[in-house]
Amino acid sequence: MRFPKLPRSIRQLSSYVLALALGVVLTVSTLQVLPSQAEPAPQVTGGDTPQLIAQRQSPATAAIGTSSFVTAAVNRVGSAVVRIDTERTITRRVDPFMEDPFFRRFFGDGFSQQVPSEQLRGLGSGFIIDKSGLVMTNAHVVDKADKVTVRLKDGRTFEGKVQGIDEVTDLAVVKINAGNDLPVAPLGSSTNVQVGDWAIAVGNPLGFDNTVTLGIVSTLKRSSAQVGISDKRLDFIQTDAAINPGNSGGPLLNGQGEVIGINTAIRPDAMGIGFAIPIDKAKAIAAQLQRDGKVAHPYLGVQMLTLTPDLAKQNNTDPNSPIQIPEINGVFVMRVVPNSPAASAGIRRGDVILQVDGKAITSAEQLQNVVEDSRLGQVLQVKVQRGNQTQQLSVRTAELQNAS
């Protein structure tokens, strides 16, 4: 069957749609019309103006530029993204056998005193947030490092001094002395981020400097418990932009080249999923780290689980279950940390937390956020159900000393 020949304008439109489709697939590649496929150059006459010439150009030629929005976004922030190299010396434990008098009698004291050590090197990313040389990165990138080296995109390297680390939010601030005219990454707002927005990850994955990957925001407020790092207190931005080891601490950008998150929480089993700390949370933490060198987090001292009637019923119908759980919504206390505020207040394993200061609590993440937003030393009125009875307990928060 022969199809009628399409008008020239429709063929042009088809080429334009195809070019756009290819542009989505190729993402960061620059779209250009090849000379062999381009329309003939318009004829210029003496009375032509630039506007008339532009009107005679084909839609494809006029619409496709020489660079993408990704290029513009990366150019805006790229020079402020840095590579962070760390070194750490660890000393291995001496085998107790070497300290045995019988061993030392045959091999001598000098042999047992040779303590082996190992040099560990790490790699991460970061970005400059102030012209004075303040660099934001992940805590796990620089934690326990003996030496921190910050390398700029232009090749300059500087020794970095860690100003503060917060393990709970996996954030750190590093200072370099490089004058007062450093490039600064423009910080956006994570409050305005929506699912489906463009997400551009910049960093040094696997040691490949200045790498850019493109994706979208997959979801918002992905809790640290869902991500699999229960010792953190964060709600992450989830993205399908490729984030690999070495990207940690680098910026996640929106389509305008503003930082909306800090790449982190890389899971080895994640297929096409990455996570970033919202920049609004990072701004607040960074300010405290610059001022105090640490961040004080209140805590209760319970290991907890979100409880639903269905979950409780499954437990109660199991003949091997060691405990019967109320079939209600709340937070089940799996363990109470010894000498913690919860232990001092009388909270017990098996209690179900129902309310805090009169507000209903229906999930572990909600309880964690309520405690995180409280003040150190603040007394919280906690309503718990214990068996068939409810009790009101007063819990005074204390400072969390060890995130793990």
Asked if residue 304 and residue 287 are part of one domain, the reply reads no
Distance CA 43, CA 246 (A): 53
Q: Is residue 63 part of a domain?
A: no
Asked if residue 313 and residue 287 are part of one domain, the reply reads no
Q: Which pTM was predicted?
A: 0.71
Q: Is residue 215 part of a domain?
A: yes
Asked if residue 284 and residue 207 are part of one domain, the reply reads yes
Q: Is residue 348 part of a domain?
A: yes
Asked if residue 287 and residue 302 are part of one domain, the reply reads no
Q: Quick one: 161 exposed, middle or buried, by C-beta within 10 A (0-12, 13-18, 19+)?
A: middle
Count of domains in the chain? 3
How many Å separate Cα 357 from the centre of its chain? Answer: 31
pLDDT tens-digit map of 225-260: 777 776 777 889 999 998 888 889 999 999 999 999
Residue 248: active-site member: yes
Q: Is residue 119 part of a domain?
A: yes
Residue 170: active-site member: yes
Q: In the prediction, which pLDDT does 209 show?
A: 82
Q: Is residue 28 part of a domain?
A: no
Distance CA 395, CA 128 (A): 41
- Residue 9 — very low, low, confident or very high, per pLDDT cuts 50/70/90? very low
How many Å separate Cα 172 from the centre of its chain? Answer: 12
Q: In the prediction, which pLDDT does 232 show?
A: 79
As given in the structure block, the two tokens for residue 39 are: 């329309």
**Which of 239, 258, 292 marks a domain boundary?**
292
Which of the following is catalytic: 68, 79, 140, 235?
140
**Boundaries of domain holding 95:** 80-175
- Residue 380 — very low, low, confident or very high, per pLDDT cuts 50/70/90? very high
Residue 140: active-site member: yes
pLDDT tens-digit map of 247-302: 899 999 999 999 999 998 666 676 778 999 999 999 999 999 999 888 999 999 99
Q: Is residue 19 part of a domain?
A: no
Read off the pLDDT of each residue in 350-377 and give the average, rounded to a whole number: 93
H helices within 30-119, ranges in order? Answer: 50-56, 59-63, 69-77, 101-107, 109-112
Asked if residue 326 and residue 283 are part of one domain, the reply reads no
Asked if residue 121 and residue 156 are part of one domain, the reply reads yes
- Please give the helix or strand (H or E) that residue 282 lies within, else none: helix 279-292
* Residue 137: partners with Cβ closer than 8 Å, 6 or more residues away: 84, 124, 125, 126, 127, 171, 172, 173, 174, 248, 249, 262
Read off the pLDDT of each residue in 78-92 and give the average, rounded to a whole number: 89
**Which of 292, 327, 354 marks a domain boundary?**
292
Asked if residue 328 and residue 282 are part of one domain, the reply reads no
Nearest to 185 by CA among 135, 244, 223, 226: 135
Res. 97: pLDDT tops 70: no
Asked if residue 305 and residue 260 are part of one domain, the reply reads no
Res. 320: pLDDT tops 80: yes
- Residue 96 — very low, low, confident or very high, per pLDDT cuts 50/70/90? low
Q: Is residue 21 part of a domain?
A: no
Q: In the prediction, which pLDDT does 89 show?
A: 86
Res. 220: pLDDT tops 50: yes
pLDDT tens-digit map of 132-186: 999 999 999 999 999 999 999 988 999 999 999 999 999 999 999 988 789 999 9
Which of the following is catalytic: 68, 125, 166, 170?
170
Asked if residue 285 and residue 319 are part of one domain, the reply reads no
**Which of 143, 175, 207 marks a domain boundary?**
175
Res. 110: pLDDT tops 70: no
Which of the following is catalytic: 58, 79, 218, 248?
248
Distances (CA, A) of 155 to 50, 111, 151: 42, 44, 6
Asked if residue 333 and residue 313 are part of one domain, the reply reads yes
